[in-house]
Amino acid sequence: MTIKSMHHVGITVTDLAATVAFFQELGLELEGEAHMEGTFVDGVIGLDGSRSRIAMMRTPDDRYRVEFSEFETPQSIDGSSYAPINALGLRHVAFVVDDLDDTLARLRPHGAEVVRNVETYQDVLKTCYVRGPEGILIELCEYFS
């Protein structure tokens, strides 16, 4: 076996504070924030003179992490964050929630918009895609017992 586990998914944003607030409302827990710069970071990410702030957030079960980065230098470039789901590349992050309707109500004041509909599949689950901060696509799933 070559992989022991998945550590995190990284997402670059332009407003770290708003992104952290949105994902805290969703239920992720802030593990820590840090300022990143120097030769070590430059060597890892391949950008000379980089400076960024990061926030590492984790799911309540402590199994998964999402790292949000806001770059001071070099300036971030548009990565087509509002691309549709069929665009090539990493497109969405999915979370299981206890109550989808309640979750949507709490996220709307933070700018969340349902992509089209909340759909129910048989008696198995209720799900939808949501655009969050920076156009991040999030799938929310409520499984029925």
Tens digit of each residue's pLDDT (9 = 90 or more) over 46-75: 889 999 999 999 999 999 999 999 999 988
* Topology annotation, domain 92-143: 2,3-Dihydroxybiphenyl 1,2-Dioxygenase; domain 1 (3.10.180)
Are 70 and 12 in contact by the 8 Å Cβ rule? The answer is: yes
pLDDT of residue 1: 66
pLDDT-based confidence at residue 76 (cuts at 50, 70, 90): confident
Domain with CATH 3.10.180.10 in the chain: 9-73, 92-143
Q: Which residue has the tokens 């949000």?
A: 68
Tens digit of each residue's pLDDT (9 = 90 or more) over 103-114: 999 999 999 999
> Can you give the pTM of this predicted structure?
0.88
End-to-end, the C-alpha distance of the chain in Å comes to 34
Question: How far is it, in rounded angstroms, from Cα 127 to Cα 119?
Answer: 5
* Topology annotation, domain 9-73: 2,3-Dihydroxybiphenyl 1,2-Dioxygenase; domain 1 (3.10.180)
Backbone angles phi, psi at 108, to 5 degrees: -55, -40
